[in-house]
Amino acid sequence: MGTVKRILARKADVALTTTEGAMVFDAIRVMAERGVGALVVTEGDLVVGIITERDYLRKVALEGRSSKETAVGAIMSSPVVTVGQGDTIDHCMELMTRHRFRHLPVVEDDQLVGVISIGDCVKQLLKEHKDEISHLAEYIGGRA
């Protein structure tokens, strides 16, 4: 059974973060530049919130607010649902489906160690299913 640790091992990026006082404009610029849909909001080492493209869309763009004059803290989601490295991918999928969001910060001993997305989970599950099928095919073919 795949775990969060396996997903993080295949990801190049560490968790990208911002702070409550940063402007939304700067946060979405980082998201666009780095090709991610979410930034974890930290205060020192602590995870205090999360901001995603969806927050910008719903709480800034649609409401006619200015991203250069709105702070991350005004639109972030808090508290944040997090997972640990030992949690299974099934558990993460269940959490994201139940809460209707697509990102999960990974925290170990109160330290942020990464972020996984629903896309990462789907990719990892597909890989594991493919590996399993090829093992079974080898076994059935008598080559195991």
Residues of this chain that interact with ligand AMP (CB under 6 A) are 37-38, 50-52, 54-55, 77, 80-81, 101-104
Output 2 or 77, the one with its CB closest to ligand AMP. Answer: 77
Which residues are CB-contacts of 144 (< 8 A; sequence separation ≥ 6)?
Answer: 135, 138
State how far the Cα of 103 lies from the Cα of 41, in Å rounded to an integer: 13
Is 39:50 a contact under the CB 8 Å cutoff? Answer: yes
Output 5 or 77, the one with its CB closest to ligand AMP. Answer: 77
Output 45 or 138, the one with its CB closest to ligand AMP. Answer: 45
User: Phi/psi zone of residue 121: left (φ > 0), alpha (ψ -120 to 50 degrees), beta?
Assistant: alpha
User: Minimal distance in Å, beta carbon 133 to ligand AMP?
Assistant: 30
User: Minimal distance in Å, beta carbon 77 to ligand AMP?
Assistant: 3
Output 71 or 80, the one with its CB closest to ligand AMP. Answer: 80
User: Half-sphere exposure of residue 132, counting CA atoms within 13 Å on the CB side?
Assistant: 8
User: Minimal distance in Å, beta carbon 58 to ligand AMP?
Assistant: 7
User: Minimal distance in Å, beta carbon 141 to ligand AMP?
Assistant: 42
Which residues are CB-contacts of 118 (< 8 A; sequence separation ≥ 6)?
Answer: 93, 96, 102, 103
